[in-house]
């Protein structure tokens, strides 16, 4: 009887081709996935301490009014390379009121307001604005409960991604003099 089969050389080449094909197929999915995950994991590193709360003006405080509270926070945009400063779209402020929290978006040109649950620039009727690099802006938040803590989260311009918390401040002190947060 004559047996027919693959020669060892042909079988070895076939195994190598199948292995290379499988590795190429799997790499086609895994490399882009890990590349995206690594980029997303590192894109916020430069913004970790870009925004901080500034206590030098004494505006990180609250005022009790008849039926509502005003909370002031001063936000500083720290010095950074141009690409970092230009990569910021704005930030999210998270105000903790008792057992609840309220998120407020701050971007250049967004309308602010003085109604409950809204935020405005201190001593201004202009639209909200993000502090420029090295600058400080004070925001006033109007709420029905006293705010005890505020956190800030940078938002990137390129993809609207909200980064991890950059800073937080405890709001323990009443504003002096009263009426400072008008």
Instruction: Provide the phi-psi class of 166: left if phi over 0, else alpha when psi is between -120 and 50, else beta.
Output: alpha
pLDDT value at residue 154? 94
R_g of the chain, CA atoms, integer Å: 27
Closest CA to 180 of 63, 73, 67, 66: 63
Taking CA atoms, 172 is separated from 59, 73, 99, 114, 121, in Å, by 11, 12, 16, 22, 21
- The per-residue pLDDT for range 22-46, each reduced to its tens digit, is 888 888 877 776 665 555 556 788 8
* Segment (H or E) for 33: helix 8-42
C-alpha to C-alpha distance for 27 and 152, rounded to whole angstroms:
38
pLDDT value at residue 148? 95
Write out the two tokens for 160. Answer: 């609207």
Inform me whether the pLDDT recorded for 47 exceeds 80. Answer: yes
Taking CA atoms, 40 is separated from 35, 36, 145, 164, in Å, by 9, 6, 36, 12
Are the C-beta atoms of 179 and 63 separated by less than 8 Å? yes
Domain limits, the chain = 7-42, 46-170
C-alpha to C-alpha distance for 133 and 45, rounded to whole angstroms:
17
When the pLDDT of each residue in the chain is averaged and rounded to a whole number, the result is: 85
pLDDT value at residue 81? 82
pTM score:
0.75
User: 46-170 belongs to which CATH class?
Assistant: mainly beta
Closest CA to 153 of 94, 112, 78, 102: 94
Inform me whether the pLDDT recorded for 118 exceeds 90. Answer: no
- The per-residue pLDDT for range 144-160, each reduced to its tens digit, is 899 999 999 999 988 88
């Amino acid at each position: 009887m004559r047996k027919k089969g693959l020669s060892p050389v042909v079988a070895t080449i076939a195994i190598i081709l199948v292995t290379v094909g499988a590795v190429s197929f799997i790499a086609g999915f895994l490399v882009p996935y890990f590349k995206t995950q690594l980029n997303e994991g590192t894109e916020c590193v430069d913004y970790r301490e870009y925004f901080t709360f500034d206590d030098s003006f004494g505006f990180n405080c609250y005022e009790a009014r008849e039926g509502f509270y005003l909370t002031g926070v001063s936000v500083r945009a720290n010095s950074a390379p141009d690409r970092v400063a230009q990569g910021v779209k704005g930030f999210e402020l998270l105000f903790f009121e008792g057992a609840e929290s309220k998120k407020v978006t701050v971007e250049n040109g967004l309308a602010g307001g003085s109604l409950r649950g809204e935020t405005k620039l201190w001593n201004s009727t202009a639209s909200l604005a993000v502090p420029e690099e090295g600058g400080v802006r004070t925001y006033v938040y109007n709420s029905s409960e006293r705010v005890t803590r505020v956190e800030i989260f940078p938002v990137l311009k390129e993809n609207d991604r909200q980064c991890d918390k950059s800073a937080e401040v405890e709001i323990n002190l009443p504003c002096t003099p009263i009426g400072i947060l008008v």
